[in-house]
């Protein structure tokens, strides 16, 4: 376990690939966690006064997720990202803007 932690601390989360004064191409990766709430039961009860109340039981499942991709950051207002995240399966496309 300590060796894995040491490796994660040494590896960068993002690294500059190439670019010029107008744009930079950046590769990124990360490791995170995602939690899913799973409802185990739903029940309605009637109390002595005739009012109903709802009881729900649930469990949380936590998973490790991985993400990686390429970001094109520009001097203009819009920057683009193409990546993959295992918590949201498939390729995702992102668009961001800068606020000055």
Per-residue pLDDT reduced to its tens digit, 12-70 = 588 888 888 888 999 998 887 777 777 776 777 777 777 877 777 777 778 788 889 99
Give me the pLDDT at residue 100, please. Answer: 65
In the structure, what pLDDT confidence band is assigned to residue 4 with cuts at 50, 70 and 90?
A: very low
pTM to 2 decimals? 0.57
Give me the pLDDT at residue 41, please. Answer: 67
Cα angle, residue 87 at apex, residues 73 and 96 outer, rounded to 5°: 20
Mean pLDDT of 91-97: 88
At 10, is the secondary structure helix, strand, or coil? Answer: helix
At 5, is the secondary structure helix, strand, or coil? Answer: helix
């Amino acid at each position: 376990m300590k060796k894995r932690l040491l490796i994660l601390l040494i590896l960068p989360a993002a690294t500059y690939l190439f670019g010029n004064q107008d744009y930079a191409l950046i590769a990124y990766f990360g490791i995170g966690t995602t939690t899913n709430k799973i409802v185990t039961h739903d029940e309605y009860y009637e109390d002595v006064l005739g009012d109903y109340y709802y009881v729900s039981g649930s469990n949380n499942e936590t998973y490790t997720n991985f993400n990686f991709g390429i970001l094109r950051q520009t001097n203009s207002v819009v920057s683009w990202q193409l990546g993959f995240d295992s918590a949201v399966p498939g390729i995702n496309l992102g668009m961001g803007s800068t606020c000055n």
